[in-house]
């Protein structure tokens, strides 16, 4: 619902120390001596979600086929060469055919939530209260805020896929179909870590969008985006896949666990949760973010990721992500020199992932990992970047130990760490 900004910090990654949402819980602070080493190399960039900005409405005194998502373990079809956009479609106006085919299954999602604001502390000053008199607000005030986004129907019985930030914290959710019908929506589950949510409406025989396979996408493939940017319902844009596998760190969303698709198809506030389609009208991504101040830089969650998360949300109402409890940087010769010089640490390797903070009482702390350890392998698989570590941790199983091969004070060591569920506070 609300636009959020993320500062891009390309070298620091947390696994996962969350400072999430509006509550600020589970936040982590790097030790000042460690953090100061990296300040000079940080790059500022602003990332915005593509849901319509929240609006304050009122003040009150006291916001293919009709199939369910495939099983997460089901194997996708073998990789095939990417389609040629016009030749395969057999019609230069193939976009028209795709929109006609899938448009009815794209929905608008409106949500409202109540925000309670406290009176400023300054108004408690006796002098100011004497000046303002009874006009000075002394009690908390509530405001109704409204947001809007998009979604698409994945089940004929009313299950809709959208972004978590579209419905996060919502008091009411309203779903509007292209044919004009509106339904009250219920959030069946949401996962802020991947920004995926499932909304359920009470309806039957609804149009459904077929889900494609995002694992076989290649840069240059033609894509189509449908959504409701800035309240302009059923807007269609087109472009290409600009890149695949953009890490959350790459785009400044380091609190997410997603490798994004990048597209130059126009995405604007209100497109959040809408489908990114291939030329066959299959969903291959869910539009989710843009970089403010840039043109032609939009990002979508791969449908294979969204589908896997959606199935867990439908079954359990939540998703549990493995968690170690470390903050880390990709080790480079430059960082090695800075750490050895500034902290007096004796790093002897040039590659790996350097641990710069261990969260108290976390699985990493319980296993005996220390600041200054360098991870070089996880379960005998070499790792050289924080993204590689994050992927292996995300693919591990909660409660099943992972073997970390590390360098500590110039000596090799092996430590078993048992992942725990990622601590994410409820946002609803």
For residue 231, what are the contacts with CB-CB under 8 A and spacing of at least 6?
52, 148, 270
Residues 303 and 311 sit within 8 Å (Cβ to Cβ): no
195 among known catalytic residues: yes
H helices present in 79-135, as ranges: 85-89, 94-102, 126-132
Q: Which two tokens stand for residue 332?
A: 């480079």
The β-bridge partners of 110 are 148, 174
Contacts 24+ apart (CB under 8 A), 397-400: 397/322, 398/320, 398/322
Cα–Cα nearest to 348, from 357, 335, 332, 336:
336
**Do the Cβ atoms of 185 and 112 come closer than 8 Å?**
no
Residue tagged active-site, from 49, 85, 148, 165: 165
Q: Which of 272, 321, 373, 396 is catalytic?
A: 272
Distances 276 to 144, 165, 284, 300 between C-alpha atoms, Å: 31, 18, 6, 7
H helices of 42-125, in order, are 85-89, 94-102
Do residues 355 and 370 touch, judged by C-beta distance below 8 A? yes
How far the first Cα of the chain sits from its last, in Å, is 13
215 among known catalytic residues:
no
The H helix count followed by the E strand count for the chain is 9, 24
34 membership: H or E segment, kind and range: helix 32-38
Is residue 100 among the annotated active site residues?
A: no
Answer yes or no: are the C-beta atoms of 212 and 206 closer than 8 Å. Answer: no
* Distance of alpha carbon 270 from the chain centroid: 16
Number of residues that make up the chain: 428
299 SS3 class: strand
Q: Of 172, 56, 198, nearest to 111 (Cα)?
A: 172
For 278-392, strand residue ranges (E) read 283-291, 298-302, 322-323, 326-330, 353-358, 374-378, 381-382
Please list the active-site residues: 165, 195, 272
């Amino acid at each position: 619902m609300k636009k959020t900004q993320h500062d891009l910090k390309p070298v620091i990654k947390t696994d996962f120390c969350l400072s999430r949402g509006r509550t600020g819980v589970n936040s982590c602070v790097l030790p000042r001596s460690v953090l100061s080493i990296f300040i000079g190399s940080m790059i500022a960039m602003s990332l915005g979600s593509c849901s319509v900005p929240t609006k304050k409405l009122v003040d009150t005194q006291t916001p293919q086929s009709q199939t369910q998502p495939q099983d997460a373990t089901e194997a996708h079809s073998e990789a095939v060469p990417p389609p040629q956009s016009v030749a395969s479609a057999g019609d230069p106006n193939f976009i028209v055919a795709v929109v006609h085919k899938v448009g009815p299954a794209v929905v608008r999602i409106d949500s409202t939530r109540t925000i309670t604001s406290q009176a400023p502390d300054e108004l408690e000053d006796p002098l100011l209260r004497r000046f303002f008199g009874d006009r000075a607000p002394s009690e908390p005030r509530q405001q109704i805020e409204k947001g809007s986004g998009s979604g698409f129907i994945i089940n004929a019985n009313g299950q809709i896929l959208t972004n978590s930030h579209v419905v996060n914290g919502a008091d009411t959710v309203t779903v509007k179909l292209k044919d004009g019908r509106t339904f009250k929506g219920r959030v069946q589950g949401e996962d802020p870590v991947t920004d995926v949510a499932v909304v359920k409406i009470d309806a039957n025989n609804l149009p459904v969008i077929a889900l494609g396979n995002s694992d076989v996408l290649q840069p240059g493939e033609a894509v189509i985006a449908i959504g409701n940017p800035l309240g302009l319902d059923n807007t269609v844009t087109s472009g290409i896949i600009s890149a695949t596998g953009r890490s959350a760190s790459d785009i400044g969303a380091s609190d997410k666990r997603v490798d994004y698709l990048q597209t130059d198809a126009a995405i604007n506030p209100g497109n959040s949760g809408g489908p990114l389609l291939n030329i066959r009208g299959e969903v291959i991504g869910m539009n989710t973010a843009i970089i403010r101040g840039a043109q032609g830089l939009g990002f979508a969650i791969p449908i294979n990721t969204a589908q896997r998360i959606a199935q867990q949300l439908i079954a359990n109402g939540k998703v549990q992500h493995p968690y170690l409890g470390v903050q880390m940087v990709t080790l480079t010769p430059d960082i090695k020199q800075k750490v050895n010089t500034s902290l007096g640490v004796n790093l002897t390797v040039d590659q790996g992932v350097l641990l710069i903070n261990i969260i108290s009482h976390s699985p990493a702390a319980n296993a005996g990992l220390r600041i200054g350890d360098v991870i070089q392998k996880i379960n005998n698989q070499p790792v050289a970047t924080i993204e590689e570590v994050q992927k292996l941790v995300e693919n591990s199983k909660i409660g099943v130990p992972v073997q970390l091969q590390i360098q500590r004070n110039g000596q090799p060591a092996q430590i078993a760490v048992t992942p725990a569920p990622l601590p994410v506070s409820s946002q609803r």
